[in-house]
Amino acid sequence: MAFHDALQVAAAIAARAPSSHNCQPWGVGWATDAATRRTAAALLAAGEPGGRAAVSPGGGSAGTAAGAPDGRLGGTPDGTPDGTPDGSGRVPSRRSEYLVLALDRARELTALPAHATEMLLSCGSHGEILARALAAQGWRADGVRLLGPGATGGAPPFGGDRWPRAWEPLCLLRLSPAPAPPGDLAALRETVGARHTNRGPYRPEAIDPGVLARLASSAAESALLRAQQAPGAPVAVRHLVGAPERAALAELVARHGGRDFAHRAAWRETHAYIRRDEAEAARAGDGFTLGQLFGELSPPRRLGMRAALAPATMRLLRHAGYDRFLARQLAAAVRRSPAAVALCFDGSDGSDGSDGSERPGNPSGPGDFGGFGGRTPDAGSVLRAGAALAGYWLAATRAGLVLHPVSVLLQHEDVRDACERRLALPGRALFLSRLGYAVTAFPSSHRRSPSHALRRV
């Protein structure tokens, strides 16, 4: 399949990747004009062992690619010499192609410092599903490089007005033609479509240990970063299945879960993503409805919940302990779930953080998907963790399981530390969730058109 078509199919599938508040903070640039492709190749070569390729000032993006005026997909690629347009005007080229995975700063959550990590996890999950969908169509990632500070010698990685100002490049992927097993694309589309957060009750039956073992191994299978297995912070999967562990987790939620509602800025940001009804959610293409948060609600209860969750009301009800009441409700759901899962970094790499990698989004060096200094992972490690999370969640969906993230325990450092100590987690926790078999189906959330996150560059 021509890459243009494969990318559109893959983008439609990857649009359903998980993201905090369903904010979808990702973007993908496709290098199509000759100058931009040379820049991409040079950046990738410079990041490979022994690479010495230089990147010219200005990012090498002179010229414009054919397509929509704003760079969105449409029309034809540029028709560089290694491909000849067919009857449709597209280039059925068998050359390698280059994609840039980006964080869309205009769509990120910012109320809490921990949201920086959540946004990178979301982008990593999106990139993983995108790479899997392309591989299922005969385009496999065989080169990956993190685009950190210094990767282009201080010049913008891609010049010109086709690169959105709000997009921060995260990593560069090279994709080359490769055989695709039949049926992979249909299976992936079905699994991704079935994957969504289920906040309802779970059946009490235990999950077979063999299933849990397969889920743990699935987190290590990453299509996004398979091409560059750099040493660094691996992602460990810890399942909490024993009654004492689940009780301890429920106690932590009951004690600290109210912070989600009591923190004014964080709750105001969360509330901005709660849509009035399905019609508004469909128009926005993001966020969630009350039904996706609480399940089916009667009209009177829906009105009552809408009023109670408004930021102004929440500030008043907080003095009456409403935030603690909601935390106890979540704790009860955790306690009744047959399992929980934590994805953690193994932080025993010995780094002292002196390389400047202590803040997510500030990689320790260009092309480095390695470890992290101190307690906070670098951007490359978080992207890798996002890819692992996507692999885990898809494997859980195939096994008939559902997840409900309990993010509040990881969004405040003191609570995170207490959680890691109380649950004896193997390293810094980056994802924590209920896990089980759903009693009732929850509706999936709406998504923006894939074209909003795709640009020719």
Give the per-residue pLDDT at 147. 81
Cβ contact 431:121 at 8 Å: yes
Gyration radius from the chain CA atoms: 22
Q: What is the DSSP pairing of strand 26-31 with strand 428-436?
A: unpaired
Mean pLDDT over each residue of the chain, to the nearest integer:
83
Percent of the chain with pLDDT over 70: 78
Pull the structure tokens for residue 457.
């560059």
AA letter at 103: L
Pull the structure tokens for residue 170.
């995260």
Give the per-residue pLDDT at 358. 38
Tens digit of each residue's pLDDT (9 = 90 or more) over 420-431: 999 999 999 999
pLDDT at 397 exceeding the cut of 90 = yes
Give the per-residue pLDDT at 100. 94
Give the per-residue pLDDT at 163. 87
Tens digit of each residue's pLDDT (9 = 90 or more) over 222-278: 877 665 655 455 799 999 999 999 999 999 999 999 998 889 999 999 999 999 999
Tens digit of each residue's pLDDT (9 = 90 or more) over 426-451: 999 999 999 999 999 888 899 999 99
* Angle between helical axes of 379-398 and 115-135 (0-180°, round to 10): 60
Q: What is the DSSP pairing of strand 274-275 with strand 235-240?
A: unpaired
